């Protein structure tokens, strides 16, 4: 979870963090993503309005039009897909800037 946090914060220096809904939440001109602290064997991310980002982001899952998800099962999974996570965060920041 700490490494996912570091990846999120590294994507853009304007990102801030707080705790909302008992979850670590990352913000830039609105809520970007929260980490689900209840998940113990993987890291689950909820992108509050991930479906609204005007970019092609196939790495985000979920059938809803607004909320989207991303999950990392292991540190190796994060290492392999860190660029995808940073890309989603960067797309959000470009959209909201």
Average pLDDT by stretches of 10, the chain with 97 residues: 96 97 95 94 95 92 93 96 96 96
Q: Are 95 and 87 in contact (CB under 8 A)?
A: no
The pLDDT value given to residue 64: 87
In sequence order, the 6+-apart residues with CB closer than 8 A to the CB of 14 are 28, 93
List, in order of start, the domains of the chain with CATH numbers: 2-86 (3.90.1150)
Burial grade of 32 (CB within 10 A; 0-12, 13-18, 19 or more) = buried
pTM: 0.93
Q: Are 53 and 91 in contact (CB under 8 A)?
A: yes
């Amino acid at each position: 979870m700490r490494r996912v946090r570091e990846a999120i914060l590294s994507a853009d220096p304007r990102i801030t963090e707080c705790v909302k809904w008992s979850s670590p939440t990352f913000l830039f001109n609105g809520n970007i993503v929260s980490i689900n602290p209840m998940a113990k064997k993987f890291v689950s991310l909820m992108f509050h309005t991930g479906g609204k980002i005007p970019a092609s982001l196939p790495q985000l899952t979920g059938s809803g039009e607004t909320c989207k998800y991303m999950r990392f099962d292991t540190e190796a999974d994060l290492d392999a897909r860190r660029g995808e996570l940073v890309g989603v965060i960067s797309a959000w920041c470009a959209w909201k800037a």
